[in-house]
Amino acid sequence: MVAFINLGIVVGLLVLGFVVGGYRERSHLASLDRREAEMADIMVVNLARVPPDLHATAGTMVAGTVVVGSDYFKGFLAKIRALFGGEVQSYAILVERARREARLRMLSEARGHGHNLVINVRFEWSDVTPGFASAEVLCLATSLQVQPNDTIVRP
Amino acid sequence: MIIVTTESVPGRDIVGLKGLVQGNTIRAKHIGRDIGAGLKNLVGGELTGYTELLTEARHEAMGRMQAEAEALGANAIVNVRFTTSSVAGGAAELYAYGTAVVVQ
C-alpha cells in the first residue's frame, strides 16, 4: 500500500513537471524570441576593444543574471540519459533559456543607456544552489554608442 | 573558416562584424564509464572515459558555433572562448563562443 502511494506521488510529480514545466518552458522560449527581436539592432561581439574604424562614446558596464530551475520530468529524463550516455537534450534547453535570458537582461540595460554596440561579452556560470538542477548564468559586457551606419567596419 | 583565439587574424584585415556566435552541448557518460572512473579514483591517473567525453563535447560545440557563423555569412571567428558548466551531477556542458567576422 505504501509502495503504491509512493509510486502515485512519483507519477503525479512527473505529470506535473511534464504539463506545467513544459508549458512554462514554451512560454519562456516564446518570450525570449519576442524580446530578442526587439533587441536585434544592438550588435554584440566579444572583442575586447572597439574596432578602430568605429567612433564610440565612453562605455559603461552592463550585466544580466538569472537562475532557471529544471522541472521534475526533465530531471527524470536526464537520469535515464545518464545510464546510457550521450547528449542530454532536456538540460540543453534549460541552459539555452538561462543564457538567452541573462544576455537579454544585459541588453536591456544597454538599451536603457541608449547604446547600440556591446563589446567584450562574457558568460560566467555559478552554482549557488548545489543539489538543485538549475542553470545560473551571469552575462557581463561593456556597452557603447556608435554611429548607426557604422556597425560594419569597412565597406 | 578561420577560427582563432586572438582578437584579429594575423595578416588579414577584419572588414565586417557579424556578431556573437555560439555552440554548446551537454553530455553524460554512460553508467559503465562512471563506475570505471570511480574505480580509477581509488588509484589515481587519467580518467580516459571523461577525457574522451570532453574531447567529443569540444568538437560538437565548435561545430555548432562554426555552423552559426557560416549561416551569418562570416568566414572567420575571432576571440573564441570556452566555458564549462554543470547543471546537475553527471551532466557536463561545454560552451564555445566567439565573434563572427568577415576577413579579406
Contact between A31 and A66 (Cβ < 8 Å): no
Q: Do A94 and B87 touch (CB under 8 A)?
A: yes
Q: Which three-class secondary structure state does DSSP give residue A36?
A: helix
Residue B53, pLDDT above cutoff 70: yes
Distance of CA B77 to the CA centre of its chain: 13
- Span B53-68, average pLDDT: 93
In one-letter notation, the amino acid at residue A9 is I
At residue A83, the 3 state secondary structure works out as: helix
DSSP annotation of A77 reads H
pLDDT at B104 exceeding the cut of 90: no
Classify residue A113 as exposed, middle or buried by CB count within 10 Å of its CB (0-12, 13-18, 19+): middle
pLDDT score of B92 more than 90 = no
Q: What is the pLDDT of residue B43?
A: 78
Q: Mind telling me how many Å the CA of B44 is from chain A's nearest CA?
A: 23
pLDDT of residue A129: 73
- The answer for A90, left when phi > 0, alpha when psi is -120 to 50, beta otherwise, is alpha
- Which residue is closest to A136 within chain B, CA to CA? B87
The H or E element spanning position B62 is helix B48-71
Residue B36 pLDDT: 80
pTM (2 d.p.) = 0.85
B23 interface with A at CB cutoff 8 Å: no
Strand partners, A136: A67
Q: Give the single-character DSSP code of B47.
A: -
The residue in chain A having the minimum alpha-carbon distance to the alpha carbon of residue B7 is A47
Q: What is the DSSP letter of A56?
A: B
Higher pLDDT: A95 or A149? It is A95
Which pLDDT band holds residue A153 (cuts at 50, 70, 90)?
A: low
Cell digits of residue A45: 561581439
Predicted confidence (pLDDT) at residue B88 exceeds the cutoff of 80: no
Per the model's pLDDT, the better-predicted residue between A134 and A103 turns out to be A103
Is residue A155's pLDDT more than 50? no
Instruction: Tally A–B CB contacts below 8 A.
Output: 110
All three cell numbers of A81, joined, read 540519459
DSSP H helices, A17-71, are 22-38
* Gap from A8 CA to chain B (nearest CA, Å): 25
Q: Give the whole-angstrom CA distance, residue B91 versus residue B84.
A: 11
C-alpha B61/C-alpha B69 separation (Å) is 13
